[in-house]
Structures are given as structure tokens and as C-alpha cells.
């Protein structure tokens, strides 16, 4: 099968298309014939090995997982002996987590990380949901505890997580303020944002308005500034996602660490979001999607061979919403008689 592989940390040029063996599912795994994958800031960080401290878990010299990519959508091709919930032919989506391997024609995935795909979404839309959607859902519902009538501000509302967070916050009954650049104002309004702040013109941390939850997806403000936008008993939620280029040892991890250190000493709640793949969350996202309350926004689509260009586009901070990969398979006859 074809896959995008990487044998050393570095720029997009370190990624290349290669022929590798089709994996064989373990007893608790399913083999998925991938139809689409999504590009995340996570893929950029793994590709670069940045921040460098992350290499302790990713691999000290090169990525332990050779094939890049986390998010996928496709159809079950085969199942392991212990799999009971899924069958060959099922349309599914999911997140491979740190195992990676979605930028390929096939991938083996533990059954617990796979869910039935929303029936009303295309494979590319479904592939755009897992990591970004679970991040938004956990931040708003699990950690933020958003309730109807609350005021929620999302900093970075036009990004992959942000566009989903705006929709989910509205689905949860919140009044949503979205922070984005000038070119994305109309986009976030179409997603349901009640108020939009163009950060090139106004500073939301000095606007005088306070919110029950400030969900920061950018990491470009100080803790003191962010706290000014939170009610005295509200929540400041910090997420480490995003693309940055400082090449430091810690990157935005330092902001998250300071948030954790300050949290016990202030009345406001400061929380740091950690996202983990979960079938339960995927099922919840499917429910919102099938109810018409959640639709991923696709910025661009690239073929599998152009994953380096797709990550380069994301890295250049030109992307808004989601960048996806369309995985085209050779006809069965061609595969059998190369």
C-alpha cells in the first residue's frame, strides 16, 4: 500500500510517499481502508519534533511512528478475532492517537478508537472531526461545563478546533463570542457566533466584557490578559494546540505550565486541556453532526501524495478550518495485477 512516511525530524520535505506492507489487525483491532484523513497542528509538531521536549515521548532521534497522520475516515476492511461491534463494510471514523498511520491507504485501529461515521457527512468531512472535534467537545462540555445561557469566548475561532467549538458551544446553548482575523469574520458568523471580534482591530482582553468561559486555542496572550476577559468565578481554559515557530525547548508549554502553577491561588478557575481519543466522544460528535448542529468546514483538500504540501500550507498559518487528505485507491484489478 501507499503511505506517507518519515525517517527523521524536519520540514515537510522529510515526508515522502512510499510502498509499505498492508498492516494485519490484532485481535482487538479493525483494518480500515482509508478514504480520507485530516491534517492537524499535531502532525506538524510530530514532523518537526517541536517543541523539542516532546521528543521524549515521540522519539529522541526520529518519530517512533513512521507513518504520519491521526484522523481518518473510511470503511472497515477486516476485523480481529475479538471485535464484535464492527463488521467489514462499515463506514467509520476515528483518531489513531500517538500511534499515527492515517496518511496511508490502510491502517489498523483498536476497536475502542473507532466509531460509526455520521451518515450525513462525506468521508472528508468525517475525517475532519476526530481530534479537533474531541478537543472542542472536551473543552466545552467535560472541562468547561458549558450550560445554556452562559457567555463563552473562543480565541482562535476560525481554526480547525475553533470552527467546531463555535458550533458546539451554540448547540450547548451558550452565547458565543468568536475572536478571529478580518478575513474570517464572515465565516465564523455563518457558524452561529453571536458576537465576532476582529483581533486586528480590537483587543478582547481590554474590551471590558467578561465571559463565563474563555477557551484559548492560540496561546498568544499572557495569563493576566486572558484573565481580564473571564468573570470572577469563570473558567479560563488553555489548549496547547496550534502552530508556532519559536523553535524553543518548551514552546507554548510554558504558558500551560504557568497556568497550572497559578490555578490554586486565584478565584477564577484555570484549566489546561488534555485531549485523548475516545469512542464515546466520537459517538457524541456523530450525534451532533446527524442532528445538523455540527458540520466541519473544509478549507482545502489534497491527494495523499501531496501531504507535505498540505502540512506546509497549515504550517504557513494560511489555513482556516480544516485541511483534509483525499485517499484515492487503485482499482481492485490493478491491485491484483500490477
The pLDDT, as a whole number, for residue 49 is 82
Q: What is the pLDDT of residues 268-290, one digit of tens each?
A: 999 999 888 889 999 999 999 99
Instruction: Estimate to the nearest angstrom the gap between the alpha carbon of 6 and the chain centroid.
Output: 21
- CA–CA separation, 114 vs 168, rounded Å? 21
CATH topology identical between 2-128+297-336 and 131-273: no
131-273: CATH homologous superfamily?
NAD(P)-binding Rossmann-like Domain (3.40.50.720)
Angle at 36 between CA 31 and CA 39, to 5 degrees: 110
Angle at 63 between CA 58 and CA 65, to 5 degrees: 95
- Which residue ranges of the chain lie beneath pLDDT 70? 51, 240-254, 317-318, 330-338
Q: The cell 458549558 sits on which residue? A: 146
Class at the top of the CATH hierarchy for domain 2-128+297-336: alpha beta
Do the Cβ atoms of 155 and 177 come closer than 8 Å?
A: no
Q: Closest Cα to residue 151, out of 172, 181, 134, 180?
A: 172
Is the pTM for the entire model greater than 0.85?
yes
C-alpha cell at 178: 468568536
- Domain ranges for the chain, please list them: 2-128+297-336, 131-273
Q: SS3 of 232, please?
A: strand
The pLDDT, as a whole number, for residue 267 is 87
The 8-class DSSP code of residue 139 comes to: I
The pLDDT, as a whole number, for residue 256 is 80
Amino acid at each position: 500500500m501507499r503511505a506517507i512516511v518519515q525517517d527523521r525530524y524536519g520540514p515537510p520535505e522529510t515526508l515522502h510517499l512510499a510502498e509499505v506492507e498492508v498492516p494485519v489487525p490484532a485481535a482487538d483491532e479493525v483494518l480500515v481502508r482509508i478514504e480520507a484523513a485530516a491534517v492537524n497542528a499535531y502532525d506538524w509538531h510530530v514532523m518537526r519534533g517541536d517543541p523539542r521536549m516532546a521528543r521524549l515521548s515521540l522519539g529522541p532521534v526520529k518519530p517512533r511512528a513512521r507513518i504520519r497522520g491521526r484522523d481518518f475516515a473510511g470503511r472497515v476492511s477486516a476485523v480481529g478475532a475479538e471485535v464484535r461491534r464492527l463488521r467489514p463494510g462499515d463506514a467509520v471514523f476515528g483518531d489513531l492517537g500517538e500511534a499515527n498511520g492515517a496518511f496511508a491507504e490502510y491502517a489498523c485501529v483498536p476497536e475502542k478508537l473507532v466509531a460509526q461515521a455520521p451518515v450525513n457527512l462525506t468521508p472528508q468531512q468525517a475525517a475532519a472531526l476526530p481530534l479537533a472535534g474531541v478537543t472542542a467537545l472536551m473543552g466545552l462540555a467535560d472541562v468547561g461545563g458549558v450550560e445554556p445561557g452562559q457567555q463563552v469566548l473562543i480565541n482562535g475561532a476560525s481554526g480547525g478546533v475553533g470552527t467546531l467549538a463555535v458550533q458546539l458551544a451554540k448547540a450547548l446553548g451558550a452565547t458565543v463570542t468568536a475572536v478571529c482575523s478580518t478575513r474570517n469574520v464572515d465565516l465564523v458568523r455563518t457558524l452561529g457566533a453571536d458576537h465576532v471580534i476582529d483581533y486586528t482591530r480590537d483587543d478582547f482582553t481590554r474590551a471590558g466584557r467578561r465571559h463565563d468561559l474563555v477557551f484559548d486555542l492560540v496561546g498568544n496572550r499572557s495569563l493576566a490578559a486572558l484573565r481580564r476577559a473571564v468573570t470572577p468565578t469563570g473558567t479560563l481554559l488553555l489548549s496547547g494546540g496550534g502552530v508556532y515557530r519559536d523553535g524553543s525547548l518548551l514552546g507554548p508549554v510554558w504558558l500551560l505550565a504557568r497556568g497550572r502553577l497559578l490555578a490554586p491561588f486565584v478565584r477564577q478557575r484555570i484549566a489546561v486541556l488534555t485531549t485523548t481519543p475516545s469512542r464515546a466522544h466520537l459517538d457524541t460528535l456523530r450525534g451532533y453532526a446527524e442532528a445538523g448542529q455540527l458540520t466541519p468546514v473544509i478549507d482545502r483538500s489534497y491527494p495523499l501524495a501531496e501531504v507535505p504540501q498540505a502540512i506546509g500550507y497549515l504550517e504557513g498559518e494560511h489555513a482556516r478550518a480544516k485541511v483534509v487528505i483525499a485517499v484515492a485507491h487503485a482499482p481492485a484489478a490493478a491491485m491484483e495485477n500490477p
